[in-house]
Amino acid sequence: MASKNIELEILHVDKNCGARYGILHTPHGDVELPMFMPVGTQATVKALSPEQVKDLGSGIILANTYHLALRPGVDIVAQAGGVQKFMNYKGPMLTDSGGFQVFSLAETRKIKEEGVTFKNPINGNKEFFSPEIVMDYEAKIGADIIMAFDECVHYPATREYMKNSVDRTLRWAQRCKDSKVREDQALFGIVQGGEFEDLRKYCADALIKMDFDGYAIGGTSIGEPREVEYQMVEYTAKYLPKDKPRYLMGIGSLDMIFDGIEKGIDMFDCVLPTRIARHATLMTSHGRINILNAKYKDDFTPLDPECDCYTCKNYTRAYLHHLMKCNESFGKTLCSIHNLRFLIHTMEQAREAIKEDRFLEFKEEVMTKFGNKRGF
């Protein structure tokens, strides 16, 4: 069942590369592309209120089906009127399917053709996820965009294992299509295939024939070398349709975001900016810093003079150093505000550069100033 309430409008493609600017129309508002999506795994972006996240310029934010199914339970979210009303977020949302947990909880899960059995980390009970169950859960959670259930395979994996996994993921994708019930939700298929280009193409071609509302690149940033990450995105992006949204999952470093934009990717997400913020690591226009460093103890300058966020406008490095040294929750909030705004603002600038056919120059300028090839 295709969505009737999501539409991609591509308004400009940079004449020097594949970077594209557009608008994604959703039931909860329009968002500009390309964009970075903050992650709110359990219907909250850690250390921030939904209102604060919105004030940072966020468009879509993510929640996770697996975690919401465990707590508070999808029926509770449905009774609240859906995830936006439950958490009071005034904007579009996306839910992951639990496919990443197939990777991250590998030691306590079992995969069969029917689905995946997880060990509940809260009470030890067995939890079974199938494509049909996931579609029911995501329908109750009610996000604008929902992801198909897939297997995110560990790296490295043999070609034989990867081929078998891709075939199962494709069968699960069709089952997701067949069991989707809400027309106001867009269902995205996820391209897997690891580091094998032929399997990436095979998976993409099969998913395109199923006619999903959008397509994601999965199985990256899970421990593989950087050059392999770049290759996997390259192997996949060129096979994705131009008239559908393209989403690179789990990416929050500048180099990978810029590489994806250059290849025509529209959407990115990652826990990285808030996770490292809570551990005192901050992304600035001139590189990454650890605010716990003693040299910031009496530094009364803004964290990043080129940043327009609430933190940089109102607080000094010395104050942030003090808060994080004392493990104050306000410090984690201020650092998270900055890191998210840094990435969201970078995407705003990238969109303007695309419209002016100068994305490649913008990318080079930002990465040169950042002074870190990996960009985080």
List, by residue number, the catalytic residues: 96, 269
Do 301 and 317 form a contact (C-beta atoms < 8 A)? yes
317 class by beta-carbon count within 10 Å (0-12 exposed, 13-18 middle, 19+ buried) = buried
pLDDT score at 103: 87
For the chain, give every residue range classified as CATH 3.20.20.105.
7-270
Say if residue 4's pLDDT is above 90.
no
The per-residue pLDDT for range 178-221, each reduced to its tens digit, is 999 999 999 999 999 999 999 999 999 999 999 999 999 999 99
Say if residue 356's pLDDT is above 70.
yes
Distance CA 212, CA 351 (A): 25
The per-residue pLDDT for range 133-174, each reduced to its tens digit, is 999 999 999 999 999 999 999 999 999 999 999 999 999 999
Sequence letter at residue 279: H
Do 97 and 147 form a contact (C-beta atoms < 8 A)? yes
pTM: 0.96
Distance CA 334, CA 317 (A): 11
Distance CA 36, CA 342 (A): 10
Say if residue 116's pLDDT is above 80.
yes
pLDDT score at 3: 57
Percent of the chain with pLDDT over 90: 96
Phi-psi region of 219 (alpha: psi -120 to 50; beta: other; left: phi over 0): left
Say if residue 361's pLDDT is above 90.
yes
In degrees and rounded to multiples of 5, residue 216 shows phi and psi of -115, 150
**Tally of residues, the chain:** 376
Say if residue 75's pLDDT is above 70.
yes
Q: Which residue has the tokens 């193409």?
A: 201
Best CATH choice for the domain 7-270 from the list 3.40.50.920, 3.20.20.105, 3.30.530.20, 3.40.50.150: 3.20.20.105
334 token code pair:
């201020």
3-state DSSP assignment of residue 28: coil
pLDDT score at 372: 65
Distance CA 199, CA 236 (A): 9
Alpha helices in the chain (DSSP H): 50-55, 65-70, 74-79, 83-87, 99-104, 131-141, 159-179, 197-210, 226-237, 254-262, 272-277, 310-314, 317-325, 329-355, 359-370
Do 143 and 95 form a contact (C-beta atoms < 8 A)? yes
Contacts of 224-233 spanning 24+ positions with Cβ under 8 A: 224/155, 224/156, 224/195, 226/255, 226/374, 228/155, 228/195, 229/256, 230/256, 230/259, 231/195, 231/197, 232/193, 232/194, 232/195, 232/200, 233/259, 233/260, 233/263, 233/265
The average confidence (pLDDT) of the chain is: 96
118 forms bridges with which residues in the sheet?
A: 109, 127
In degrees and rounded to multiples of 5, residue 9 shows phi and psi of -125, 105
Distance CA 181, CA 135 (A): 8
Distance CA 20, CA 133 (A): 35
